[in-house]
Chains A and B, each alone.
Chain A
């Protein structure tokens, strides 16, 4: 019997961040092609016990571990903030090497960003198991994750790993272009939420038909450095220019915002919300004029923009944040913050419903995946 495993670094839950929702989309799609695909993620207690997991998590927070003193170690090429995560994934993949039977005999492995699972990846390649990489980002170029002086070295390493994969599935058009030009077999698979999330978003779209609109929403994972910096800059600009007079309050929230944005002063113009529950977020989305995405560098807003558009919420995004969504209806692109007022006026002038983005055509990716298993 064919054995296929999808190794993910994320929890398959729609209430979590964009990465988790992307995982759900990929897993759903893979199941259609390979119904036998098994999902392995760090929270599966049959593979990593809760005790062990707690131990790894505790160790990953210890700043003075012997590993961190050796500058040449892989883990030390990443930023201080990111080292804990690197440690955890390396440890998880070491455990999987022992707890998953017949790893070397897998017919196919699918893996989120292989740079996080080096021991596992190496074993699979050594055993000639074909690997498909799911690239959530080229991780070595996400600002804030890597030590600047090591960025080139890590990027070279990550590209080396991708080039050993049979296929790399990207979530962004930009990465697809770059990887292809490296001679890496890559396919762009645009994000589109799974059925259950779609349903929720369509309900929001329906309700928006009857609501009066006020305020602008800015939502994101504040743990992510470029997202956090973007939120803080946009908030300062909003206050400084008193944009509440033009578009109402700026409502800022999302995962980890209690932790990272707690020190931000609450004023009349900006409302810091913290993590939204699903219902709270839907409630806000029903009534806001638009959603603002602002990032001066970073991965963009690849899942958020699509979801906002399905919910009928127009998106204001600066050029970097709008990546992979350029010239898409409903996305109002601006180059820098001083153009924001102008774009807000366009939103006010727009009187209608933004078109529902169609689900992507994945037929050629499907053919590609079937070819790998032939």
Chain B
């Protein structure tokens, strides 16, 4: 049996949430087929070595000079997101050509968000190869990624593609319900970190039992528009309302924090750290009272919340950011920023205990995949 997983993430658990989710799915797929092949755009897999350098340079330096010369498929995406979409499109074209010419054996293709790999997807469907989509998000619904005027059209296109998949694996309950109602075959697989990450988080949990707790941590990828907006709003609200009196300082960090933060550190109120190394992050996690997730819209904090809970760190999340984690012990939901002070009061002297999240039952998903390959 030959299974190929086409991904846009690096095969490592040290990178962002997307890569860590990919590792979780990869682990699950290996239970079905230990020899499965992973083809990642970040490693330029399947691109012949002699052209790899040139190819990478071409797509890295690509400039879109005017709307007039812009390829049609890019017009739906936001300006900031076009280069990313273009790169994946180029990989997808190359992979698709290889698949056709070299007659690669493939009984099942698993693919992260197929909308980014449209030409490859079409080839697979044409060759009657079943496709399972790993939906990291409904991408056309991620605010900031799409040209607002064309969002609905792109959304329809994405649904069209997903409806041709034999199965869509979702990371969020909300998307699962939505896609099911559109008649798609889906399976919700909640995020649960793979063993090396889990081990690290359990060590933090252990250390937290004896540590003194102070401050609230807020981390996220600042390059992501809704995350950035939410974090900046929360920072402003914290400063204006002197929330340090309730819960100590707000510690802010994350990828590209330096480039996007809109205000300065204030001793005792808030401090900014740029991209945090694993060690620096772990250190904060051992000693903070809780982690704050605030997003007025966007994909939520689907990997972060699960990891925080595994590390024993309570999570304060507004209703949107808490998506897929509603009513879970250890998650303290608040409707809007105005309600944050109220929520923080729960973290006075005694920090609430966070039960260890259980891994999801994957047996049904595994049998779904086995059935598709049969």
Task: Enumerate chain A interface residues (CB-CB to B < 8 A).
Answer: 141-143, 148, 151-153, 155-156, 159-160, 173-178, 180-183, 188, 296-300, 319-320, 323, 326-328, 335-336, 361, 363-364, 367
Contact = CB atoms under 8 A, between A and B. Distances in A.
Contact of B182 (A141, A160, A173, A326): A141
Ranked nearest first, the 8 interchain pairs of A and B with the lowest CB-CB distance are A327-B327, A174-B174, A181-B141, A177-B174, A180-B297, A141-B181, A152-B156, A174-B177
Given A152-B159, A177-B320, A327 B328 contact: yes
B268 to A, nearest CB: 29
Contacts of A326: 173, 326-327
5 contacts: A148-B183, A151-B183, A173-B319, A327-B327, A336-B364
Given A141-B178, A180-B296, A364 B339 contact: yes
Contact of B364 (A141, A142, A155, A335): A335
Interface stretch (B48-56, B145-153, B233-241, B309-317): B145-153
Contacts of B159: 152, 155
A294 to B, nearest CB: 14
Contacts of B319: 173, 176, 188
Contacts of A182: 141, 151-152, 155
A336 B365 CA distance: 13
A143 to B, nearest CB: 6
B297 A181 contact: yes
A152 B297 contact: no
Interface string B334-359: 01101100000000000000000000
A30 to B, nearest CB: 19
Interface of B: 138, 141-143, 148, 151-153, 155-156, 159-160, 172-175, 177-178, 180-183, 188, 296-300, 319-320, 323, 326-328, 335-336, 338-339, 361, 364
Given A181-B141, A326-B326, A361-B335, A143 B153 contact: no
B178 A151 contact: no
A364 B338 contact: yes
Contacts of A153: 156
Contact of A174 (B155, B178, B182): B178
A320 B177 contact: yes
A102 to B, nearest CB: 33
A297 B183 contact: yes
Contacts of A178: 141, 174-175, 178
A296 B184 CA distance: 11
Contact of B183 (A143, A174, A188): A143
Nearest to B338: A364
Nearest to B319: A188
Contacts of B181: 141-143, 297-299
Contacts of B152: 156, 159-160, 182
Nearest to A178: B178
A183 B328 contact: no
Contact of A183 (B143, B175, B180, B323): B143
Given A177-B174, A319-B188, A156 B153 contact: yes
Given A364-B336, A364-B338, A183 B174 contact: no
A2 to B, nearest CB: 26
Contacts of A181: 138, 141-143, 297-299
B183 A152 contact: no
B320 A183 contact: no
B174 A173 contact: yes
Contacts of B339: 363-364
A25 B347 CA distance: 34
Contact of B151 (A180, A183, A296, A320): A183
Given A151-B183, A156-B153, 17 more contacts: A142-B181, A143-B181, A151-B182, A152-B156, A152-B159, A153-B156, A156-B152, A177-B320, A178-B175, A181-B299, A183-B151, A320-B177, A326-B173, A327-B327, A327-B328, A363-B335, A364-B336
Nearest to B337: A364
A141 to B, nearest CB: 4
B327 A328 contact: yes
Contacts of B174: 173-174, 177-178
B335 A364 contact: yes
Nearest to A160: B152
A143 B300 CA distance: 27
Contact of B297 (A156, A183, A297): A183
Contacts of A141: 178, 181-182
B156 A173 contact: no
A156 B142 contact: no
A24 B152 CA distance: 33
B323 A177 contact: yes
A320 B180 contact: yes
Nearest to B328: A327
A327 B326 contact: yes
A183 B145 CA distance: 12
Contacts of B182: 141, 151, 155
Contacts of B138: 181
Contacts of A300: 177
Nearest to B142: A181
Contacts of B296: 180
A148 to B, nearest CB: 7
A158 to B, nearest CB: 10
A173 B326 contact: yes
A181 B139 CA distance: 10
A309 B159 CA distance: 35
A265 B218 CA distance: 59
B143 A155 contact: no
A163 B222 CA distance: 27
Contacts of A327: 326-328
A313 B172 CA distance: 28
Q: Most chain-A Cβ atoms within 10 A of its Cβ — which of B142, B153, B159?
A: B159
B81 to A, nearest CB: 15
Q: Most chain-B Cβ atoms within 10 A of its Cβ — which of A151, A152, A153, A336?
A: A152
B163 to A, nearest CB: 9
Contact of A155 (B156, B177, B188): B156
Contacts of B320: 176-177, 180
A113 B174 CA distance: 20
Contacts of B300: 177
A335 B335 CA distance: 29
A367 B113 CA distance: 38
Q: Most chain-B Cβ atoms within 10 A of its Cβ — which of A155, A182, A328?
A: A182
